[in-house]
Amino acid sequence: MGILVNLLGVLLIAFIIWWFWLYKKQSEATIEGSSIDIIVDSGIYEPSVIHAKQGQEITLRFIRKDSNPCSEKVLFNDLDMSADLPIGKPHNLTFTPDKKGEFEFACQMGMYRGKLIVE
Amino acid sequence: MNTTTEKYQRLYVSDISCASCVNTIEAAIGALPGVDDVEVNFAERTVNVSGDVTEDVLIKTITKSGYTACSLQDNSEDTNKENQELAHYKELLKKTIVAGVISLVIVAVTMLDLLPDLTTFKGQFSWGVVSLLSLFVLTYGGGRFFTGALKSFKNHNANMDTLVALGTGVAWLYSTFVVIFPGSVSEIARHVYFDTATLIIAFINLGSALEMRARGKTSEAIKRLIGLQPKTARVLREGHEVDIPIEQLVMDDVVRVRPGEKIPVDGELTEGASHVDESMLSGEPIPVSKKIGDKVVGGSVNKSGSFLFRATHIGKDTALSQIINMVRKAQNTKPEIGRLADKVSSIFVPTVMIIAVLTMNAWFNFGPDPKLTYILVTTVAVLIIACPCALGLATPISVMVGVGKAAEYGVLIRKGDALQKAGQLTTVVLDKTGTITEGKPVVTALETSEGSSEEELLRIAAGVEVNSEHPLAEAVVEASKEKGLELSSIESFEAISGHGVRALYEQKEVLLGNTKLMEDKGVKLGSLQSRSQELSKLGQTVIFVSLDGKPLGLLGISDPIKTDSKDAIKRLQDSGIKVVMLTGDNRATAGTVANLVGVDDFIAQVLPQDKANEITKLQERGEKVAMVGDGINDAPALAGADVGFAIGTGTDVAIESADITLMRGSLNGVADAVAISKATLKNIKENLIGAFGYNTLAIPIAAGILYPFTGILLSPIIAGAAMALSSVTVVTNANRLRWFKP
């Protein structure tokens, strides 16, 4: 019994590490055309990983459904951009990514997290 | 990124009168390239457009269709946001009350042992009802945690919701299991935790409500700025003065402002004169005198006279709108100091979950009996007490308040990083002209030779100088204008490079220039010479004037030092910062000014293009350097400094090269910015230490680390209260900054 419970503990930890850190297949999307809808609800951006092409203007259309104040802002720290998201009304963020790389975006507290991958 | 634009625009079309107007406008705009969506609101008479199209093109298109459109400042969004926030706040309070009341009932029946024993059917039934009641609290008061947790989980993400859902969910599931199968746990472990689960939900809702309240206050500065914008304007239309909503005001409208009223938009005064209080925008406490041709700024208050002005900037283009935009943007940026907390919070929740599993196993292996009870209490406490919110909020919430506070003092901070750096400066470099001094030379001394009058001296000098474009010449002409003198008519103006000018007045030779010129032409200066030396020592530039080989007198010209420069420099020095003056002037003049204002050091004879090099030299010595200049001539130096301050003249906010823009001309703005930055940085540190400290202490205590030594275990209910309070504390601490006075 003792071994079983301890083994269960180890497995649980392994699962947490794998599920939250190692397993990387988040909801991904490539921008078709020039704009993409990102739903902000219940603690996540959906899709949370967005692929874009360098030098091509894109519009990230944030649609906030969550009234929790956490979801109020979206910050792209590395890109020097931010936006205040109104509830229930799309907010467009239009820009041209001019350098390649992975750029994280998150809410003010870093709980909502997403990534823009510029290729 | 090369362009960042928000592609959602609102325009006001005053003459939408029928449904067909709506169709016409929608069709015209919809046909434009780049437009994603267009919607005409007949009731509001607004056109809402999303897509990649400029406002100009939209206005032109609507005009072509036969309507008049103007840009609309989007304040409705803010009102909307406030309403939504209020609704959310009320919702949270309602949930708190419902969850709180039911929890208290459950706590009472549990503590007072009012229900029959679980081993009886009656007991099982009554506790089953309690279980259902708790389930109601969990779904009504805490449903969002469960849906959020589930969604995040599916997305391989974990957040606050995950912890709360796990903590309360485990407590409820275990308790319900005990109710259904009381025989499966030993008698001493036969305990239920419905009160814990429900009280935690009540506490967290209360915490969220309080936090929301406190958060609302952090954006007070922005609300105050938005509040400066009047709702109506009194414009001249077809010869009559009519009051119209501000949204209907168009460019070039002539607007009437009466004493005590707010100026609605930016413009140029066309009739009348007054004094205007711009303090709410620039922090400049003394009302500014305005006459015809002067610029007036929307949001400032007309103090004395009634006047008319022509609107030159409306809607999003007004200085006030730009300030609001800039402050908003800056409030959303994070300084370097917050990056560690960001990194930690990104791995925080899974880490806490791992700690919870370790806690579970530790109590299973080493804990006393009844093991199940201890495991449950500690694991739930660990999950509930951990607060990633406090950590994540620590930096941004202080930045929000700090940046807003600075704006109140006419200091516009572009980015959070600038705020941090301004708090860590060791040297401030001040450009002389226009920064320490007014930047406008004036005649400050007049000395005449025997037999000539001041009037004659100034009249002739100004007559000559009116032909010159030198800044000193302007001062001479301005001085004669002030005295109402008529300029002497001068002929054959000729510049003598580096020395002065030569001209003819009534066929006699006039010379204007320095000592060298007078000596070369054989003019005997006599007592004027010693007076000239005295004036030079005071930092004034001296010009001699002679007529027909005889001296008429001299003029002393200087660029007056701003009245508060000395005090501001002292304030900077008192906060431990070295102040250096940078100027193109010669050493003697520079030395005099440096002495007068009391800077620690000065660098003279610096060519404009070399200013940036001087900054680099200081940085190479390990100094953290700020450069303060006008933002136009000093752009490279401002950009090269650790923090570039552009000292504005009122409301020119679009100074791109600067990290911080001072809206009033006073150097006190620099001292204010430094003081506010230091206070904000201190506040951030307090928050970070508090949040890190709280989590590193609270989690082990919740796990029961004190138990082997003291026998103390933390109740999960206390954990819930502590967690709810921790983020409220962080926000409240940030709010303390609102009362800071630099």
pLDDT in tens, B145-188: 999 899 889 888 888 889 999 999 999 999 999 999 988 888 87
Is residue B650 over pLDDT 60? no
Is residue B76 over pLDDT 50? yes
Q: What does the pLDDT read at residue A25?
A: 59
Q: Which of B606, B593, B473 is nearest to B536 (CA)?
A: B593
CA distance B638 to B608: 12
Q: Measuring CA to CA, how many Å separate B672 from each of B113, B218, B741? A: 62, 19, 9
Residues of A in contact with B8 (CB under 8 A): 90-92
Q: Which of B1, B345, B361 sits opposite A9 (nearest CB)?
A: B361
Residues 41-80, chain A, touching B (beta carbon < 8 A): 41-44, 46, 48, 57, 59, 67-70, 73, 75, 77, 79-80
Question: For residues B344, B348, B350 and B354, what is the CA-based torsion angle, rounded to 10 degrees?
Answer: 100
Q: Which residue of chain B is at minimal alpha-carbon distance from A108?
A: B396
- Catalytically active residues of B are 431
Query: Whole-structure pTM over 0.95, yes or no?
Result: no
Cis omega before residue A47 (within 30°)? yes
CA distance B42 to B30: 17
Q: Which residue of chain B is at minimal alpha-carbon distance from A112?
A: B159
Q: Which of B388, B359, B349 is nearest to B149 (CA)?
A: B349
Q: What does the pLDDT read at residue B665?
A: 84
Q: What does the pLDDT read at residue B2?
A: 37
Q: Measuring CA to CA, how many Å separate B503 from each of B451, B459, B471, B547, B551? A: 21, 14, 19, 10, 15
Is residue B75 over pLDDT 70? no
Q: Which of A35, A77, A81 sits opposite B4 (nearest CB)?
A: A81
Instruction: Give the model confidence (pLDDT) of B400-423 as tens digits.
Output: 999 999 999 989 998 889 999 999
Confidence of residue A24 (pLDDT cuts 50, 70, 90): low
Size of interface A-B (CB pairs under 8 A): 166
Is residue B74 over pLDDT 60? no
Confidence of residue B398 (pLDDT cuts 50, 70, 90): very high
Q: Does A7 touch chain B (CB under 8 A)?
A: no
Q: Average pLDDT, whole number, for chain B?
A: 87
The shortest C-alpha distance from B346 to chain A (Å) reads 6
Q: Please report where in the chains the tokens 């819930």 appear, as a residue.
A: B720
* 8 Å CB contact between B334 and A75: yes
Q: What does the pLDDT read at residue B4?
A: 36
The shortest C-alpha distance from B376 to chain A (Å) reads 14
Q: Which of B472, B490, B388 is nearest to B730 (CA)?
A: B388
Q: Which of B7, B342, B357 sits opposite A13 (nearest CB)?
A: B357
* Assembly ipTM: 0.85
* Across B395-404, B407-416, B630-639, least confident range: B630-639
Is B350 in contact with A17 (Cβ distance < 8 A)? yes
Q: Which residue of chain A is at minimal alpha-carbon distance from B329?
A: A82
The shortest C-alpha distance from A71 to chain B (Å) reads 12
Q: Does A118 touch chain B (CB under 8 A)?
A: no
Q: What does the pLDDT read at residue B652?
A: 56
